[in-house]
A and B are shown apart, each in its own frame.
Chain A
């Protein structure tokens, strides 16, 4: 592989803009040892990071993987982003930049560790050559190479320049888990300090010479178009520079300051074409989904045994319909992007979950070659899947094309962000269960009716019209109840005008609510303990069972609780990890819910940073409980009703239970961490609510539900 070294170093230095550290003042001659590490004479090791940091800790975790294989001194390790254009110019040497699906670590582990191991081999080789000894007589530890025979040592900073001139070996082997010294340790994040002082520059904070600011209004009705606007009505307002059409469905005001643009946009007369979607409502969508529950045609995700025979022969049959709403991601940093278009070049400053997709979107919108785009990636103020989409990037470039070369920062208002998302799909599921006379589950059927994310965003990925992602968490290699002899899980795609997208945890969240609450219903109908009832179906799924048992034990399942406190549990596998949770709740006579304690278990195979896994699992409950308790996007007149955090409430401090995490990496695989446990938050609490009240809640969120005892 040939690396364009000049562009590499140039980016390394220029990229300092987006970094939370400062280059050492005295640093002379940083040396690239392989493609993943840049080593300075003072032993500072800068690890290149291709994925995006949005809070999930990947920036630190990936650096740990490289640094461990390098045997670097962790106290001197820093990290910086690889620029997408540098990746492009080097045949994507740093691989995929897409950051989603809890893949940041697990999809990178092989090549980044090999990159670290290669760098170490080169550093040892360089030191051995300087001493005139065989490399295999030398070892490395904490950024120092030692020659066993003589005891001579050289620091990485001393040999990096020579090592950088060596060919990068491709036949390296990575360490065995027992040899890890940095992987598996809860080392401190590399990006904390600047986030405590206000110094962290997010994309929304970017300030460039001569920069203008803009804000945008998109047709409030999904699928609608821009017909006209009356720029004259606002042109004389303070700071206003331009009013411009953006694509075929939006208009932006460009002003000196964002607040001036926002004030003017609010007064801008705009005519929209609703494209016939103005009558879509939550009611019309619910009817569409109900029809989907009964449809003959559906894509199959999991089928085993003879489901019809199982129901024919069953002693007990049960049925229940569950529903979950559309949900906005509500990243706290609203959508924004800064763009500069000069001649046939485009430069953007962007909080993106996929720097390469941002580059492609900027090239397309700018009408320039991919190689004429520069992308400055900045840490994201939340991503949750929303920033994998590039609509705001396209818009920023389309605006910047019209400002005569001046850079423009486009910031969406919260209202725009709330009403123009890529929502978690609304969904309904009809659950059916068949049990024999002893209360054993002999048949399990799940029909999902929902819009399809794949059909909306990547229709080419549909397989014979089937959205495989719709079955997340329920696929044969994920489903925990494979010992049930007869199973059918299928999905009827029902498309609405509301755009749907990947929302942290994606379809695992809804699927786990449907399945784990219904299994709980069956357990109670069979008069069996919900834990024992599940165990009886998990004979073929020992990893699921192990983490379920771990949370049950820590939570003291079956032991006496204080008066008025009740437990519920849930388990699942998603994004390659096995998870389970027990919730303890109380419900007052007036129906006030208090979530007192969560015990959450995760088996991600291997754990790179246990402290950050604890943070992710803890935080995932805030995300999952927001969706359970409050959040809902409803549709009226073809548009989203909720506009801000007053009408779209999310969990706050007072809602947050204590979360006790159990991390049990069982080895042998790499599972994701950022998303899996969200899915068990809601069903564990819902099952505990049933234990407390005898009420089975089947429609989220709880804010609309009466929780007083049945």
Chain B
């Protein structure tokens, strides 16, 4: 059994420690907000926070997580809307299909936690998640809005 601290709750899971954290979150714990896109840490759809650092969970063996605190999109804010990034995403109507947005929001939240006033270049560097609908410009605008609202 492996004990996982997800969104402040400890889950006991009976799973091969080599299993990627993504699939443990989705299939063993049953939380599906974190998405599968590529399986090789390229697209970022599976982004979660591990001890505050944005991490592509598809490439993290669950056995290496230990007692670290994992936060998924479901745990970013109590009501799913009140984190400054979520509010800015709503204000700018960022999502189109929405499939990548859990990962985008987690990446943006981690960026702002570390760098409350990111420049466009900082955003280019930090936000490498793939969006096939092409919401990048609205993501950029929304990050600046979230940055302003949080200060």
- The answer to whether B102 touches A619, judged by C-beta atoms less than 8 angstroms apart, is no
**How many Å from the CB of B117 to the closest CB on chain A?**
17
Q: Which chain B residues in 5-62 approach chain A with CB under 8 Å?
A: 16, 19-20, 23, 26-28, 30-40, 42-43, 45
Residues in A neighbouring B130, C-beta threshold 8 A:
332, 645, 650, 652
Report Cα–Cα, A469/B79, bound state, in Å.
48
- The answer to whether A650 touches B105, judged by C-beta atoms less than 8 angstroms apart, is no
Decide if B146 is an interface residue (CB 8 Å cutoff).
no
- The answer to whether A193 touches B90, judged by C-beta atoms less than 8 angstroms apart, is yes
The residue among B93, B100, B105 with the most chain A CB atoms within 10 A of its own CB is B93
Q: Which chain A residues in 197-228 approach chain B with CB under 8 Å?
A: 197-202, 204-205, 207, 213
Residues in B neighbouring A658, C-beta threshold 8 A:
137
Contact of A332 among B19, B20, B100 (CB under 8 A): B100
- The answer to whether A332 touches B72, judged by C-beta atoms less than 8 angstroms apart, is no
Residues in A neighbouring B32, C-beta threshold 8 A:
198, 201, 204-205, 207
- The answer to whether B93 touches A192, judged by C-beta atoms less than 8 angstroms apart, is yes
- The answer to whether A622 touches B131, judged by C-beta atoms less than 8 angstroms apart, is yes
Decide if A654 is an interface residue (CB 8 Å cutoff).
yes
From known contacts A196-B105, A646-B42, infer whether A652 and B16 are also in contact, taking CB-CB under 8 Å. Answer: no
- The answer to whether A55 touches B40, judged by C-beta atoms less than 8 angstroms apart, is no
Contact of A192 among B28, B39, B95, B105 (CB under 8 A): B95
The total of chain B residues at the interface (CB under 8 A) is 59
**How many Å from the CB of A164 to the closest CB on chain B?**
33
**How many Å from the CB of A626 to the closest CB on chain B?**
8
- The answer to whether A334 touches B134, judged by C-beta atoms less than 8 angstroms apart, is no
Contact of A619 among B33, B72, B127, B133 (CB under 8 A): B133
Q: Is the interface of B mostly helix, strand, loop or mixed?
A: loop
**How many Å from the CB of A646 to the closest CB on chain B?**
5
Contact of A195 among B20, B72, B101, B139 (CB under 8 A): B101
Contact of A414 among B34, B38, B74, B124 (CB under 8 A): B38
Residues in B neighbouring A332, C-beta threshold 8 A:
35, 37, 43, 45, 97, 99-100, 130-132
Q: A-facing mask of B125-144, CB < 8 A → 1, else 0?
A: 10111111111111110000
- The answer to whether A197 touches B73, judged by C-beta atoms less than 8 angstroms apart, is yes
**How many Å from the CB of A407 to the closest CB on chain B?**
15
Residues in A neighbouring B35, C-beta threshold 8 A:
202, 204, 332-333, 381
Q: Which chain B residues in 79-98 approach chain A with CB under 8 Å?
A: 79-81, 86, 89-90, 93, 95-98
Residues in A neighbouring B101, C-beta threshold 8 A:
195-196
Report Cα–Cα, A213/B26, bound state, in Å.
12
Residues in B neighbouring A621, C-beta threshold 8 A:
134
Residues in B neighbouring A238, C-beta threshold 8 A:
16
Residues in A neighbouring B96, C-beta threshold 8 A:
55-57, 615-616, 619
- The answer to whether A619 touches B134, judged by C-beta atoms less than 8 angstroms apart, is yes
Residues in A neighbouring B76, C-beta threshold 8 A:
197
- The answer to whether A259 touches B86, judged by C-beta atoms less than 8 angstroms apart, is no
Decide if B3 is an interface residue (CB 8 Å cutoff).
no
- The answer to whether A197 touches B137, judged by C-beta atoms less than 8 angstroms apart, is no
- The answer to whether B95 touches A195, judged by C-beta atoms less than 8 angstroms apart, is yes
Decide if B2 is an interface residue (CB 8 Å cutoff).
no
Q: Which residue of B lies closest to A619 (CB)?
A: B134
Report Cα–Cα, A413/B39, bound state, in Å.
8
Residues in A neighbouring B65, C-beta threshold 8 A:
none
The total of chain A residues at the interface (CB under 8 A) is 62
- The answer to whether B90 touches A623, judged by C-beta atoms less than 8 angstroms apart, is no
- The answer to whether B39 touches A656, judged by C-beta atoms less than 8 angstroms apart, is no
Report Cα–Cα, A690/B27, bound state, in Å.
51
**How many Å from the CB of B107 to the closest CB on chain A?**
10
Residues in B neighbouring A205, C-beta threshold 8 A:
26, 32
- The answer to whether A618 touches B37, judged by C-beta atoms less than 8 angstroms apart, is no
Q: Which chain A residues in 606-664 approach chain B with CB under 8 Å?
A: 611-612, 615-616, 618-623, 644-646, 650-654, 656, 658-659
- The answer to whether B93 touches A334, judged by C-beta atoms less than 8 angstroms apart, is no
Contact of B36 among A382, A411, A622, A644 (CB under 8 A): A411
Q: Which residue of A lies closest to B136 (CB)?
A: A656
Report Cα–Cα, A213/B32, bound state, in Å.
15
Q: Which residue of B lies closest to A329 (CB)?
A: B132
From known contacts A650-B132, A653-B139, infer whether A54 and B97 are also in contact, taking CB-CB under 8 Å. Answer: yes
Q: Which residue of A lies closest to B75 (CB)?
A: A198
Residues in B neighbouring A195, C-beta threshold 8 A:
95, 98, 101
**How many Å from the CB of A645 to the closest CB on chain B?**
4
Decide if A156 is an interface residue (CB 8 Å cutoff).
no
Which residues of A line the B interface, CB within 8 A? 53-57, 188-189, 191-202, 204-205, 207, 213, 238, 257-259, 330-334, 379-384, 411, 413-414, 611-612, 615-616, 618-623, 644-646, 650-654, 656, 658-659
**In the A-B complex, the 3 residue pairs with the closest CB atoms:** A198-B33, A622-B134, A197-B80
Interchain residue pairs with CB less than 8 A apart (16):
A191-B98, A193-B90, A195-B98, A197-B74, A198-B72, A198-B74, A205-B26, A332-B37, A333-B97, A384-B132, A646-B40, A651-B136, A652-B127, A652-B136, A653-B128, A656-B134
Beyond known contacts A198-B102, A202-B35, A652-B128: 12 more, CB 8 A cutoff: A55-B98, A196-B81, A197-B86, A198-B74, A202-B99, A334-B37, A414-B37, A615-B93, A619-B134, A619-B135, A645-B38, A652-B127
